[in-house]
Amino acid sequence: MVKINANCWNEHGELKTVLVCSPSVLDVPDQRTADYVGWEKPVNQEKAKENHEEMIRAMENAGVTVIDYSKHLKDEDRQLNDQLINRVFVRDLACVYGNTVIPGDAGITMRAPEYVHSHELFQRWFDENTFSIQDNNRLKALENGDVFVLNRDTVFINTGLRSSIESVEMMKGKIFQAGFTEIGIIDLPRTGETMHLDMNCNVAGADLLIAKSYMRLFPVQVVNEKSGRYVMMEDYIKRHGFDVLWTDDVKHTVADINFLNLNPETLLVSTKANKKIVKGHPKLRGKKIIEVDVNELEKGGGGIRCMTMPFERR
Q: Which of 74, 75, 84, 71 shows the shortest CA–CA distance to 37?
A: 84
Q: Which amino acid is at 211?
A: A
Please report the pLDDT score of residue 248 as a whole number. Answer: 79
From residue 1, how far is each of 80, 86, 123, 125 by CA, in Å? 23, 26, 12, 7
Of 126-135, 208-217, 260-269, where does mean pLDDT reach its minimum? 126-135
Query: Cβ distance 299 to 40 under 8 Å?
Result: yes
How does strand 182-186 pair with strand 154-158?
A: parallel
Average pLDDT value for the chain? 95
Of 166-170, 189-193, 201-205, 248-252, where does mean pLDDT reach its minimum? 248-252
**Distance from CA of residue 25 to its chain's centroid?**
23
Q: What is the tally of helices (H) and strands (E) in the chain?
A: 9, 16
Query: Cβ distance 37 to 31 under 8 Å?
Result: no
Q: Which of 255, 196, 195 shows the shortest CA–CA distance to 55?
A: 255
**Distance from CA of residue 4 to its chain's centroid?**
19
pLDDT at 1 over 70: no
* Chain segment 252-304, per-residue pLDDT in tens: 888 999 999 999 999 999 999 998 887 778 899 889 999 999 999 999 999 99
**Distance from CA of residue 241 to its chain's centroid?**
21
pLDDT at 251 over 80: no
Q: Which of 309, 311, 301, 308 shows the shortest CA–CA distance to 110?
A: 301
199 vs 146: CA distance, rounded Å: 9
Confidence at 138, pLDDT banded by 50, 70, 90: confident
Query: Taking the CA of residue 248 as centre, how many other CA atoms within 13 Å lie in the half-sphere pointing to its CB?
Result: 3
More confident residue, 3 or 95: 95
Question: SS3 for 55?
Answer: helix
196 vs 94: CA distance, rounded Å: 14
138 vs 167: CA distance, rounded Å: 8
The rounded percent of the chain whose pLDDT value lies above 90 is 89
Query: Cβ distance 16 to 314 under 8 Å?
Result: yes
Count the Cβ atoms, other than its own, within 10 Å of residue 187: 15
* Chain segment 152-182, per-residue pLDDT in tens: 999 999 999 999 999 999 999 999 999 999 9
Count the Cβ atoms, other than its own, within 10 Å of residue 176: 17
More confident residue, 135 or 127: 127
Confidence at 134, pLDDT banded by 50, 70, 90: confident
204 vs 93: CA distance, rounded Å: 22
204 vs 7: CA distance, rounded Å: 19
The residue-averaged pLDDT of 116-129 equals 96
* Chain segment 32-90, per-residue pLDDT in tens: 999 999 999 999 999 999 999 999 999 999 999 999 999 999 999 999 999 999 999 99
Please report the pLDDT score of residue 21 as a whole number. Answer: 98
